[in-house]
Each structure stands twice: as structure tokens, then as C-alpha cells.
Structure 1
Amino acid sequence: MTDTSHTVAVMSHSLPHRPRISADQRRARLGRRHLLVPSTRAATAGEVADALVGLHASDPATVYLSACARLREPCAEAVDRALYDDVSLVKLLSMRRTLFAVTTDLAPAVSAGAARAIALKERATLMKHLREGTEGAEGWDERRLAQVEKEVLAALAERGEATTAELSKDVPALRETILMSPGKPYEARQSVGSRLLRLLASDGHVRRCRPRGSWTSGLYPWAPAPALPELPVRKATAEIARRWLAAYGPATEADLKWWTGWTVTDTRRALADTGAVGVELAEGPGFVADGDDGPVTETEPWAALLPGLDPTAMGWRGRDWYLDPADVKPLFDGSGNIGPTVWWNGRIVGGWAQRADGEVVWHLFADRGREAEAAVEAEAARLSGWLGDRRLTPRFRTPLERELAR
């Protein structure tokens, strides 16, 4: 077996003349490859998801806002069709135990290279909670869990689609509750159903359907999911790493490890399997995809208003090259979730929010000049135009977003 840690070490440290890629070059790549430069905008939500590897979906609105920020003709209904009619985008609990919307083309790799491992951990965690924190006539063990899962899938096949509450009428065990964080000030009870349906989704047995209510709603019915093609784990992780480097490179090993949630060993193996090329960044050694170490041309000036948890804002562990450390506190919540951001030429320069009357308001941390002000104003008007009378409140609220929304 190849010693991948040695292979990566050779790529990183033994080349005497590694290409140096500046922060300006990284920002130029970001604008083009993340479809934020107006001339690079996409025609479909699937093109956007592929360009970014996947769209964060923990907050239902993020998928729509992230896609529409990069579409030539922003349209929430087009994103809706991709998710629930064509099902050309599927949601998987995957990298970093985060919900992502990815294209059906990439889904098998994401399933094998990230989601399966998450599903195993989710199952072990659920079984532990069921044994220790449930109140019911019967105790829980692996056999009972498997039986309840079988009953849920049968009920779902009969109904076609159903919410967890609706399935609980067919499978009473779903109404039992689990005591979470017993003895802690924040202890709470959760239904077995909410956790079990999440597990079935992690395993690829069920999928989320169009939510009851607007596209900002988190009340999803469930439906049986078609089986994804099986891929070997190593082939899948290499494919994820290859696509990520193409979209987010140059980047560091630590960036890829953080973004995927892989171990150091798995991260180094994936980099080696892709043939990643070592480069020099301001932070130290980094990597690009093979053949991607040359300069790129500067882009035309661009501005963007991106939502909380947007893939671009959450694409790297090391963010100093696009976010001033002094601006971190107002933009992030206490759990490390970034809120809505304003971008100018590859840097986060402020934040934005929507007020109760629908007005999109924004704030820049420093004067960026008239051109930047005009570009941001135009993007705010573009966002307001396709939002229409829709009202948004981010699931993860941050200090600046709360202040602007008042």
C-alpha cells in the first residue's frame, strides 16, 4: 500500500520551486469559480451546486439564496423544481455532519465518501440515546430499532410521502421520547421519530420532499429514496477532493480536512490520489489540482450578497485572505455559523439583513469607495427583486444580522 502521508509530504516539502499563489490570485479564482463575477453566472441550480461541490442546506433558505445569487435569472421556483420535481439536487447529511444539496451526478461519491461514515455514527449515537433516555413500554435494542425502521419504510411506501407526525400514526413507537443531555440546564426531550427519520435519511433510505408551507420552511414530508450507485470509499473520497480542489483551490491540507470532516490520514490519502500539486501560499504549503498552478486573469469588479452558511463563506478553515479577523465577531454566531455577508472583489466587507417590511439593508465595515457602494446597492436591488414579498429570518442569527434587521 502506498504511504500516502509520505507522498503528500513529498508534494508539499521536497519541491524547491513550488509556484507561489498570492491572495489576490486566490480572490480572482474565487470570483470566477464560485460564479460570483456577473459574466460567469449560471443557467441552472445544478450548475451552481456543481461549481461549489454542494450547497449548504442546514437552513432551508440557504440553498435558494446561494443558488439565486449565482444565477443569470434568479428564480426560487427553478431551485424548487431541481430539489423536488426533477430531483436533480439531493440533500445528504455528509461533510462535517452538515446537510448539503448536491447534484445526482456527485451524490454517489458524497454518499460513499462522507455520508456513510456519518450514518454509522448517527446510528451508534441514536442507539445509545434509545437505551439510556427513552420512556416506553418496551426497551430498545438493535433488533427493535431494525423492526421499527422496517415498519416506517412500509408505512412510507404505502403513503407515498408523509411527515414524521403522520408516520407516527402508523408506527406508535415514533411517538416515544428521548431525554437529551439529562441533568444539564438545557436538557430536553426529542421524539424518537425525529431522530429515526434523520437516521433513515442518512442511510439513504428516505429523502426530503417539498416542505409544507414556503421554501423557507423546515417541515418536510419524507418519501422513499432511490438507491444510489455504490462506489468504493477511496474512489469516492478522491472524487470529492478533486472537485473541491477545482472549486476551492489553492487551499491547505487543514482546509480540506476541516471542510470534509475527514481524518488527517484520509485527507492526505485523498490528496495523493488526486495527484494534487504543492504550491506556496501566504499561510504556508498548499495544494491545487494538477495543472491548476498557473496564473489566472483578474476579473471585472464584482459584489455579492451571500446568505448565512453560504458555501463560499464556509469553504475554508483559514479565512484571513478573504475576511479580516477583526470582522469575525459580528458575522458569526457562537457555534461558528456565518451570517449573511457582503462581498467586494473576493473579500467579505460587510453584512446584510432583511427587515420585517421586506427592505434589504446592508452595512460595510469600512469605506470601499463609490464603485463598491454602487455595486452592492445594485446587488441588494437584484436580491429584493426576486425575493418579492418573501420574508427571511436566518436559522442561525448573528450579531450584525440582528442589529440590521431591527
Structure 2
Amino acid sequence: MTVPVAQRLAAQLLSGSLATSVTGVVDRVLAVQAQDLRGARLAVRVRSTGLRASDVDRALTQDRSVVVSWLNRGTLHLVRAEDYWWLHELTTAPQVSSNVRRLRQEGVSPEAAERGVQAVVRALEGGPRSRQQLRDVVASVGVPVAGQALVHVLLLATLRGHVVRGPVDDEEQAFVLTRDWLGRPPAPLERDVALAELARRYLAGHGPATADDLARWAGIRLGEARRGVRALRDLVEMEDGSVDVARRGPVPPLPPPRLLGAFDPLLTGWRSREPIVGEHRSLVTSNGVFRPFALVGGRAVATWTIVRGRVSLTPLEQVSAHNLAALEDDAVDVLRFLAE
């Protein structure tokens, strides 16, 4: 375990003081990967105290203090509502060309894609709609919806700023019009100002890190990531060439054994996951899937799942009886969190 990794764990709210609110977690991490909604909920759990899964759903559905949308790298992320606007502006432009290509591959012509987007917007003017409801709407105007076609029509509507994910009903998250759900957008930030804000916020939750790490995480060009980092003052340069925000204070002890959910930010925030997964990389991450895993001593030592209402642990290496007992206690809290 190196000092930079220990500092990253603290930056991620996995050691030291925990957050006490959903927005407190999301503010620190900036963007929590959320194509697996339960995984996003569990990312909040492990970084907070006193919360429940229903608090995450309430923040999404009633408070509207956080929102899910396709942002970094074309992946669904959970962000604070006020951060959506500038993150959307910064991170979605690189996705346009790939969206056009994927629509064509799915048999959706540019004209059909336009009809599909217009149909989605008209349908959402009547309020939130589920994915299945929008599938029927898009199909009704003669637009292909098989395979990934519907997803990329919805992505196109999202890239244009029309649509975000809104209220949660169990595991289903409905789509809504951005203007209806979040209100009028603020004045846009100048790009250099936004890049500096991105770098500052990223390092707050991921430092120490490099501009290369930032570029990969946000899905922006390396040159823009470097511009954002260079605009910051009071950075500390580490021996490995990474940088961190200044005045963090003493590095807290490593976190106790904890269970982290699928697609946890600890595995998606940097170019290399080697410090966390080590030789277990193919067992924890494969084919774009990031499995729930157990963190002991700052390293992945097991994967886990829930089977018939119980947490089932699959060790990847020898785990002491003491650490297994701690993980079993945390498993109880996982079930408590998800049930409430």
C-alpha cells in the first residue's frame, strides 16, 4: 500500500470522516457511475453514515437534489442537480459522433432519429415516462427500437439536453424533460472556467491523480484536462508525478473492511485499477462489468452478491477470521441499508 492510494481512499470518503447526506457524497465524488442504480445507492452507503437506500431515491424523486444522466464517457452518472448543467456541456460533445455511428449501425437513419427525438420530447411533455412507454412511443412513429436502437435514440435526446432520468419507482427510473425537472439552466460557464472547476472537483474526490486520469474519467481530451489542472493553484505534486489539492491534513488510517457495490467509483476514477484489484483484475472487472467487491487493507480481496436475501462472499485470497467477521457485520448493514 502506497501513500497515494491511502490518500485516494480518504479523498473518496472511504476513510476518515464520512458524509451525512446523499448530496455530501455526490458533491465529493462529483459523478457516481449509475447504470446500476443499486450500485450507485451502495456507493452512497459506504461513504456515509445514517443513510438508507430510500434516502437516495428521495433525493432523486422528491428533492431533485441529484439527477442521473449520460455524462462522463457516455455512461450514466449520478450528480448534484446544480452540477448537471456544466458537466453536460463539458462531457457530452465527444459522444455525438459515436452516437451517430451507433444509430446507423442499429438501422436508425438521421431522419428516423429526428422523428424519434421529437416523439420522446412530445411524450415527456405529459410527464415522466418509463423506458417501455417511450419504446412504444418511438416505435409508433416508425423508428426502430430493437437491440440498442432505442437506447441511442434516448441518448441523442439526452445529448441535446432535452432529457434526464427522473423519479424512481423501485428499480425503474423514469425519463423526464430537463426543463421540467431541473428548471431553467444557469448562465453557461466559459469553457476554461468549467475545465478548472472540473479539475478542482475531480481532485477533491480522487486526488492524488494525473491529468491523464482526469481525461479518462471525464471522457475529455487530454489537452483540456491539462488546461484544467494548470489553472489550479495550491496543488501538491507527488513523487509519482500526480497532483493533489493542498491542505488535506493528515492521511487517516486505512478504512475497516467494507463491502463496495457494483461500478463503485473506487474502480472507475483512474486510468489504472491495479493498486486496488492487483492480480484479481479479471475477477473483479471484465467485459465492462465491475462486480461488487470487498475492500480489506485498501485492496480487493473478495467479490460478493446477494443470494436469497443473504450476502454471499467469494474470497479471492486468504482472508483472516477477524476480517471475515468484519465483512459479515458490514453485510448486515448492506441489507439494512437496501431494505429501508
> Which structure has greater helix proportion?
2
User: 1:210-254: CA deviations, max 9, x gaps?
Assistant: 345x23x4xx43221124322222222221111111111112333
Over 3 Å counting, the alpha-carbon distance change for 1:232 and 1:353 in structure 2 is same
Over 3 Å counting, the alpha-carbon distance change for 1:171 and 1:354 in structure 2 is closer
Quote the Cα distance in structure 1 between the aligned partners of 2:123 and 2:209.
46
Match of 2:122 among 154, 163, 180: 154
Quote the Cα distance in structure 2 between the aligned partners of 1:276 and 1:261.
25
List alignment gaps of at least 5 residues for structure 1.
1-22, 135-139, 179-188, 391-406
Check whether the contact 1:31–1:345 (CA below 8 A) recurs between aligned residues: no
Check whether the contact 1:168–1:174 (CA below 8 A) recurs between aligned residues: no
* Structure 1 residue identity aligned to 2:268: M
Quote the Cα distance in structure 1 between the aligned partners of 2:144 and 2:216.
33
* Residues 7-406 of structure 1: pairs in structure 2 closer than 5 A: 23-37=1-15, 40-118=17-95, 120-121=96-97, 124-125=100-101, 128-129=104-105, 133-134=107-108, 140-141=109-110, 145-146=113-114, 148-157=116-125, 159-167=126-134, 174-177=141-144, 189-190=146-147, 193-212=150-169, 214-215=170-171, 217=172, 220-226=173-179, 227-229=184-186, 230-275=188-233, 277=235, 279-281=237-239, 284-289=240-245, 291-292=246-247, 296-299=250-253, 301-324=255-278, 326-335=279-288, 337-355=289-307, 357-388=308-339
Over 3 Å counting, the alpha-carbon distance change for 1:323 and 1:195 in structure 2 is closer
What is the TM-score normalised by the length of structure 2?
0.86
List alignment gaps of at least 5 residues for structure 2.
none
Deviation at 1:99, TM superposition (A): 0.9
Check whether the contact 1:251–1:288 (CA below 8 A) recurs between aligned residues: yes
Over 3 Å counting, the alpha-carbon distance change for 1:170 and 1:338 in structure 2 is closer
Deviation at 1:141, TM superposition (A): 4.1
* Structure 2 residue identity aligned to 1:197: L
Quote the Cα distance in structure 2 between the aligned partners of 1:276 and 1:321.
26
Q: Percent identity?
A: 23
Higher mean alpha-carbon deviation, 46-55 vs 311-320, is at 311-320
What is the DSSP-based 3-state SS (H/G/I as helix, E as strand, rest coil) of the residue aligned with 1:285? coil
Quote the Cα distance in structure 2 between the aligned partners of 1:342 and 1:128.
41
Check whether the contact 1:278–1:288 (CA below 8 A) recurs between aligned residues: yes
Task: Work out which of the two has the higher radius of gyration on C-alpha atoms and give 1 or 2.
Answer: 1
Check whether the contact 1:57–1:99 (CA below 8 A) recurs between aligned residues: yes
Over 3 Å counting, the alpha-carbon distance change for 1:387 and 1:169 in structure 2 is closer
Quote the Cα distance in structure 2 between the aligned partners of 1:259 and 1:276.
22
What root-mean-square deviation, in Å, do the aligned CA atoms of Structure 1 and Structure 2 show? 2.8
